[in-house]
């Protein structure tokens, strides 16, 4: 079997997994809908999802209908509910903004943050895990203890603490300054806090590979270290990273939603599914769709990512294959 044989077998097995393929289709449709957010807002809803529209009105049934309507109690106003039409399909929030348009725009940021944080997490975890496991000795001890320190902090407490500080002051790395409202802040924070959860398994795998017969034989033959890493260690680690990717993206999306709901994630005027849930908190009894819609979007995306992650694990994780053989 050629060098690409195991990969070809894994992808073929993944393609035969119906649940994983359905999940992949759902994710592709979700991403496509969020990417098309500007087109939807401009050409279909014909609204600005970031501009307050307290005095606006739309045509419903041939009649002009105020977006902010008098409350049934006679005190204050209540946003218009779902119209199930092109404009305000899911109703309006407390600022008179189109919830459907904001949902798609918010999805763009939520998916971007989850994807970016996953890439950062996997890259840092692979680097630290490979260096620690392959170098061994003092280097391994120092990196392992650093990972243990990060591991000791509850992940949400660490993320909240870092967010509270960086959202207030921004981040400066040498000559580079990242503003407090930049999406790079939550991407970096979420990516870093989950590094120990991936780096520790990678380190253990590399430690096992470093003691394997084929690596020891290559060292005895004088094969350069970089060549051993490139040809023998990295392909095995890459498979593990692929298995981790969808599961970490699901975790990162939930973490972003939690931080944004606490007002220490995505900052206005930008939106995410977490910030839209926060916007709808005060409307749960009158216009629940404002908070329920992004919650359903998060649930669908996370469930799809978990189904896809299960399929990827069964296709590429050797331990899963051993479990199937023994069962």
Query: DSSP letters of 68-104?
Result: EEE-TTSSSEEE-----SSTTTT-B-TT--BHHHHHH
Residue 34: predicted pLDDT: 96
- Mean pLDDT for the chain overall: 87
Is the per-residue pLDDT at 311 higher than 50? Answer: yes
Cis peptide before 269 (omega within 30 of 0): yes
Q: How far apart are CA 93 and CA 79, in angstroms?
A: 6
User: Is 96 a member of any domain?
Assistant: yes
pLDDT of 294 = 97
Which pLDDT value is given to residue 1? 41
- What is the Cα–Cα distance from 104 to 111, expressed in whole angstroms? 11
Confidence class of residue 323 from pLDDT cuts 50, 70 and 90? Answer: very low
CB-based contact 312:246 (threshold 8 Å): yes
Residue 289 CA to residue 282 CA, distance in Å, equals 12
Print the domain residue range for 118. Answer: 27-45+86-317
Containing 65, the helix (H) or strand (E) segment is strand 63-66
Helix, coil or strand: residue 196:
helix
* Interior/surface letters 222-238, b for 16+ CB within 10 angstroms, e for the rest: eeeeeebbeebbbebbe
**Number of domains forming the structure of the chain:** 1
Which pLDDT score is estimated for 325? 39
pLDDT for 326 = 42
How far apart are alpha carbons 286 and 308 in whole angstroms? 36
Kindly give the pairing relationship between strand 57-60 and strand 176-178. unpaired
d(Cα 117, Cα 139) in Å, to the nearest integer?
26
Please check whether residue 322 lies inside any domain of the structure: no
In a domain, 223, yes or no: yes
Instruction: Answer yes or no: is 174 within a domain.
Output: yes
The DSSP 8-state label assigned to residue 50 in this structure reads T
**Cβ neighbours, 10 Å, residue 45:** 21
Q: Give backbone dihedrals phi and psi of 62, rounded to 5 degrees, phi first.
A: 80, 5
Whether pTM exceeds 0.85: yes
Least confident of 46-50, 283-287, 314-318: 314-318
Phi, psi of 77 (to 5 degrees): -130, 160
**67, part of any domain:** no
Beta partners for residue 197, in sequence order: none
Least confident of 87-91, 92-96, 237-241, 270-274: 237-241
Query: What is the tens place of the pLDDT at every residue in 166-201?
Result: 887 777 777 877 887 889 999 999 999 999 999 999
Of 1-5, 14-18, 48-52, highest mean pLDDT: 48-52
Whether residue 236 has pLDDT greater than 90: no
Flag whether 14 is in a domain: no
Would residue 184 count as lying in a domain? Answer: yes
- Tell me which of 85-99, 212-226, 265-279 is least confident: 212-226
Q: How confident is the model at residue 256 (pLDDT cuts 50, 70, 90)?
A: very high
Are 163 and 259 a contacting pair, CB within 8 Å? yes
* CATH number of domain containing 244: 1.10.3720.10
Residue 20 within a domain: no
């Amino acid at each position: 079997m050629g060098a690409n044989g195991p990969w070809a077998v894994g992808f073929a097995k993944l393609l035969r997994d119906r649940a994983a393929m359905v999940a992949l289709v759902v994710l592709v449709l979700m991403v496509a809908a969020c990417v098309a957010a500007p087109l939807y807002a401009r050409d279909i809803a014909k609204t600005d999802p970031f501009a307050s529209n307290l005095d606006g009105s739309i045509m419903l049934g041939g009649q002009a209908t105020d977006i902010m309507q008098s409350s049934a109690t006679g005190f204050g106003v209540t946003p218009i509910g779902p119209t199930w039409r092109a404009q305000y399909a899911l109703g309006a929030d407390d600022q008179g903004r189109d919830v459907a348009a904001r949902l798609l725009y918010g999805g763009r940021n939520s998916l971007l943050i989850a994807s970016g944080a996953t890439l950062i997490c996997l890259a840092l975890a692979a680097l630290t895990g490979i260096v620690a496991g392959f170098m061994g000795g003092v280097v391994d001890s120092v990196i392992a203890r650093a990972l243990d320190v990060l591991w000791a902090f509850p992940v949400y407490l660490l993320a909240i603490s870092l967010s509270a500080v960086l959202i207030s002051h921004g981040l400066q790395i040498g000559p580079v300054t990242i503003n407090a409202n930049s999406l790079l802040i939550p991407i970096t924070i979420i990516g870093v806090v989950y590094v120990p959860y991936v780096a520790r398994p990678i380190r253990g795998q590399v430690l096992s590979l470093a003691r394997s017969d084929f690596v020891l034989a290559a060292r005895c033959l004088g094969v350069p270290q970089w060549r051993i890493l490139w040809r023998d260690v990295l392909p095995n680690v890459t498979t593990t990273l692929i298995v981790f990717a969808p599961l970490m993206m699901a975790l990162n999306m939930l973490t972003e939603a939690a931080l944004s709901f606490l007002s220490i994630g995505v900052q206005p005027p930008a939106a995410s599914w977490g910030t839209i849930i926060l916007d709808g908190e005060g409307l749960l009894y009158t216009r629940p769709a404002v908070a329920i819609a992004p919650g359903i979007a998060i649930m669908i995306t996370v469930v799809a990512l978990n189904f896809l992650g299960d399929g990827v694990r069964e296709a590429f994780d050797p331990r899963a294959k051993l479990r199937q053989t023994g069962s």
